[in-house]
Amino acid sequence: MLHAALIGSVFAWALISHSGNTWGEHDVTAGAIQATMVNSLPLPPKQRTLDEGVLTSEKPSPAPVQEKEKTEPPPSPKELAIPTKTPPKPVKTAEKAVEPPKHVQPVPVQPTKAVTGETGGIRIAQATMQLKNGTASMTVADKTFGDRFAYYVNIVNRKVASNWYTQEADPRASEGKRVTIIFDISRDGLPSNVRVGARSGSPSLDTSALRALQRVQDEGFGPLPQGDHITVEYSFDYRQQH
């Protein structure tokens, strides 16, 4: 009897004393620690994931359809050809025109490992550059262009970034804001059709981004390696460094 009461009181005490959930409470003094490290890390803008990658894609990949094995029905005796005495004439084929040897393209090296979201193995048509006061990143709409001519994408990014004077943006109003500029690059490498894709909410930041494009207007980026024009989406992230 005494033992039962003792055990019962131990259980009751345990229930009463552990009923409150102190973990993860909002109160700082509750024992949990608030750390805001992510905000202070200069993370680049989020990169698009590779859609084809099995591990990186958000969509579940469909299971391959397995077809049932079929057995071939035996041929009917009527379908068997009856040998004739006169042999059939050989079919004449027109001579193929000799094609000029195609320009030898470098054989792409196929990755042997599966691509996960954490590796640096994904090559996308985007280049990011860390600047003194913020980040400049660009995306080319034509993905194959960005793959094939990554160096050109880099040059465009570099040139615009070096002509973006972050001092022109109001530091207080622009802090943490992002403006996206869309423009075309014509065959001769000159930017045209410059327009604001997404306003930042800070007019001075928008103007500083447009001015960066104005400064490269005369010289351009050098002739396009391929194609008639490309469309570029260029994002300016303003982040004051303390």
Partner 1 sequence: MITPVNGAIDLKVTHCIYHKRGMSRTVLNSTPIFARFTLAVATLLILSTSTAQAQDWFKTETSSGAANIRIAVADFKASSSDTQTVPFKGTFDTTLYSDLANAGIFDIVSKSLAPQSSPGTPAEMNLQQWSAPPASAAMVAFGSLGVQGGRLVANGFLFDVKNTQYPQVLAKQYSEDPSEDSARQIAHRFADEIIFRLGGGIPGIAETKIYYVKIAGGNKEIWEMDYDGANQHAITSLGTVTLSPRISPDNSRLAFSSLGKDGFQIRTYSLLLGRMVNFAGVGGTNLSPAWAPNGKDIAYSSSRSGDPEIWISDINGALARRITTFKGPDVSPVFNPRTGSQIAWISGRTGLPQLYIMDVDGSGVTRMTDGGYATSPSWSPNGQFITFAWNRKYGPGAPGGQDIYVMEVATKKWIQLTHDGGRCDFPSWSPDGRHITYANTADGRADHMRIWTMLADGTQKRALTGTGGDMPNWSWK
Residue ranges binding partner 1 (CB under 8 A): 28, 33-36, 40, 106, 108-109, 123, 129, 131-132, 147-151, 154-155, 157-159, 161-163, 165, 167-168, 189, 216, 218-223, 225, 241
Does residue 134 come out as left (phi exceeding 0), alpha (psi in the -120 to 50 range) or beta?
Answer: left
H helical segments located in 83-234: 143-148, 150-162, 171-174, 203-216
Residue closer to partner 1, measured from CB, 149 or 183: 149
Which residues, listed in sequence order, are joined to residue 135 by a DSSP beta bridge? 130, 237
Residue closer to partner 1, measured from CB, 221 or 238: 221
Residue closer to partner 1, measured from CB, 36 or 84: 36
Residue closer to partner 1, measured from CB, 2 or 107: 107
Q: How far is 219 from 155, CA to CA, in rounded Å?
A: 13
Angle at CA 156, nearest 5°, toward 155 and 157? 90
The count of other CB atoms within 10 Å of the CB of residue 205 is: 26
Residue closer to partner 1, measured from CB, 100 or 108: 108
Angle at CA 165, nearest 5°, toward 211 and 174? 90
Residue closer to partner 1, measured from CB, 68 or 113: 113
User: In sequence order, which residues have a C-beta less than 8 Å from that of residue 170 and are 6 or more positions away?
Assistant: 202, 204, 205
Residue closer to partner 1, measured from CB, 33 or 91: 33
The position carrying tokens 């552990």 is 18
Angle at CA 139, nearest 5°, toward 192 and 152? 70
State the minimum distance, in angstroms, from the CB of residue 177 to partner 1.
Answer: 20
State the minimum distance, in angstroms, from the CB of residue 31 to partner 1.
Answer: 9
State the minimum distance, in angstroms, from the CB of residue 215 to partner 1.
Answer: 8
State the minimum distance, in angstroms, from the CB of residue 235 to partner 1.
Answer: 15
Tokens linked to 107: 């054989």
State the minimum distance, in angstroms, from the CB of residue 2 to partner 1.
Answer: 38
State the minimum distance, in angstroms, from the CB of residue 86 to partner 1.
Answer: 55
State the minimum distance, in angstroms, from the CB of residue 217 to partner 1.
Answer: 12
Q: How far is 23 from 18, CA to CA, in rounded Å?
A: 11
